[in-house]
Structure 1
Amino acid sequence: MSKYKLTYFNFTARAEPIRFLLSYLGEDFEDNRFEREQWPAIKPGMPFGQVPVLEVDGKVLNQSVPICRYLAKKAGLAGQDEWESLLIDIAVDNVFEIRQEIMKNYHDPDEEARNKKKEILVKESIPYYLERFEKTVSENGGYFVNGKLSWADIYFVAILDHLKSVIDVDMVEGRPNLGKLKQKVLDIPQIKSWIAKRPGPIF
């Protein structure tokens, strides 16, 4: 059995899909968290100066999305063939794109530019993406791909609380298919158990 150690800030964000997938796998992982003020001391020791990182049997891995894909393959959630895997990867990248837009705006040091961009995000970009996600889930039996649970569904649901805390928008409000998908993922026993015990703030 592999030994896992996940290192990240003491909140959800980019690490939460990894935590969801490790929990789904039933892995008793080390959730190594640190506070923001500790980051300058920790950063030089991280690959490419970034987190999250996942240590698997002492081997240090960076880049959250490939880590998720690796865990998803172990969990049987990465597609039954190359085509299904491609569709899942596309769904994840679409979710990742709107997440990146939101976070890029959040970290913009120019307050005036940030406020203008936020208005565009709330009125245009977020609805554009979420309406398409809603349609995709509606057409695929309540999931992102082929009517069954994949890591695209887990990835999407895992970042929702964090995005809401950043931009104060409920991504699934008024979108019944996405709302049902969120609940299905949160009702998975292993994930439900993780949420009940997870420490720290959302952001």
Structure 2
Amino acid sequence: MPLTVTRFAPENMPTAELAKALTDPRPASYKFEYFDLSSVGSVPRDILALGGADWENLPINWPAEIKAPFGVFPVLHITTASGVELKLAESFVIEHYLAKKFGLFGDNEWEEQLIKMFHSSSVYLRERLAMRVTWNFKDKMDESFETFMTKALPVWIETHSKHLKDNGSNGHYVGDKLSLADLQTANDIDHFACLYKGDKIIEAIKNCPEIWRVKEEVDKEPRLQAWRQSKGYKKHVALSQTMYANTGIKIAGSTQIL
């Protein structure tokens, strides 16, 4: 399929001007380019909805054409208040930028680093499950799933539970307000519900009240509740459930078929 490597910013615009445009306190508008799925698209969409941003989903013309800085998605398109058009690629960068923009990094430098660590830990849990179970060979999925359930998931639950208790078991990782870390954990749980044997993962997490309360606190946010009632959100969930209902790699002769 044709690949067009797109620029991050207008050609020949000095970095000082780009930085000024990107940090302009006036509201920007956004287009979030990703598939009609949850996965790595869920947290950025939640942040934009939670922040009351002027944003829209940008559909991907897949597989006819790819236009992106690295040939992969998601990509966040930003039109600043001064009219400068910028692109951010890579999900971590997009999530960190939006979290900072909409006040989801705590109140000081230490809180920001804590939130980034909790966020990274939960992202890694999701990606470990994806690589070792969801997209493993079909005849290896059960074995890999049991390894995930007996090794990776218990460690995540134990460590996150301890840190949440240290913060008062109030449904937040840091302080007493919503952060990027909270959103990531809540979205991990929603994502797991769509996966192979996801009910067993949800059952294990539900047995940890400190972690489950994080999801409950996120789900209470009025702007997120409104977003979850939208056609766009329901479409992402429905397509995620359909796609993840039959994952794994089959072997047909010498050809691997997804």
TM-score of the superposition, structure 1-length normalised? 0.89
Aligned to 1:17: 43
Where 1:51 maps in the other structure, the secondary structure is: coil
Where 2:57 maps in the other structure, the secondary structure is: strand
Aligned to 1:179: 212
Aligned to 1:78: 105
Of 62, 68, 87, which aligns to 1:39? Answer: 62
User: Separation in 1 of the partners of 2:142 and 2:188?
Assistant: 22
> Which segments of 5 or more consecutive residues in structure 1 lack a partner in the other structure?
none
Aligned to 1:199: 234
CA displacement at 1:14 relative to structure 2: 0.5
Note the alpha carbon deviations across 1:72-108, whole angstroms, 9 max, x for none.
1122221322211111111111111111101112122
CA displacement at 1:149 relative to structure 2: 2.1
Work out whether residues 24 and 191 of structure 1, in 8 Å CA contact, stay in contact via their aligned partners in 2.
yes
CA displacement at 1:8 relative to structure 2: 1.0
Alignment of 1:115-130 (within 5 A): 115-130=142-157
Tell whether 2:34 aligns with 1:8.
yes
User: Separation in 2 of the partners of 1:63 and 1:97?
Assistant: 15
User: Separation in 1 of the partners of 2:54 and 2:183?
Assistant: 18
> CA RMSD for the aligned pairs?
1.7
Work out whether residues 8 and 51 of structure 1, in 8 Å CA contact, stay in contact via their aligned partners in 2.
yes
Of 72, 82, 101, which aligns to 1:50? Answer: 72
Bigger helix share: 1
CA displacement at 1:146 relative to structure 2: 3.0
Higher relative CO (Cα under 8 Å, sequence separation at least 6) belongs to 1
User: Separation in 1 of the partners of 2:89 and 2:188?
Assistant: 18
Tell whether 2:215 aligns with 1:188.
no
User: Separation in 1 of the partners of 2:123 and 2:236?
Assistant: 22
User: Separation in 1 of the partners of 2:109 and 2:28?
Assistant: 26
| 1:192 aligned partner, one-letter code | Q
Where 1:199 maps in the other structure, the secondary structure is: helix
Note the alpha carbon deviations across 1:129-162, whole angstroms, 9 max, x for none.
1222122212212211234321111122123211
Work out whether residues 12 and 159 of structure 1, in 8 Å CA contact, stay in contact via their aligned partners in 2.
no
Note the alpha carbon deviations across 1:7-56, whole angstroms, 9 max, x for none.
1111111011001100111013111245xxx53224x3122221111100
Tell whether 2:165 aligns with 1:165.
no
Work out whether residues 123 and 184 of structure 2, in 8 Å CA contact, stay in contact via their aligned partners in 1.
no
Of 114, 120, 130, which aligns to 1:87? Answer: 114
Aligned to 1:149: 178
Alignment of 1:123-142 (within 5 A): 123-141=150-168, 142=170
User: Separation in 2 of the partners of 1:161 and 1:127?
Assistant: 18
| 2:57 aligned partner, one-letter code | D
> Which segments of 5 or more consecutive residues in structure 2 lack a partner in the other structure?
1-26, 80-84, 241-258
CA displacement at 1:186 relative to structure 2: 0.9
CA displacement at 1:183 relative to structure 2: 1.0
User: Separation in 2 of the partners of 1:120 and 1:164?
Assistant: 18
Work out whether residues 119 and 184 of structure 2, in 8 Å CA contact, stay in contact via their aligned partners in 1.
yes
User: Separation in 2 of the partners of 1:66 and 1:104?
Assistant: 21
User: Separation in 2 of the partners of 1:172 and 1:191?
Assistant: 22
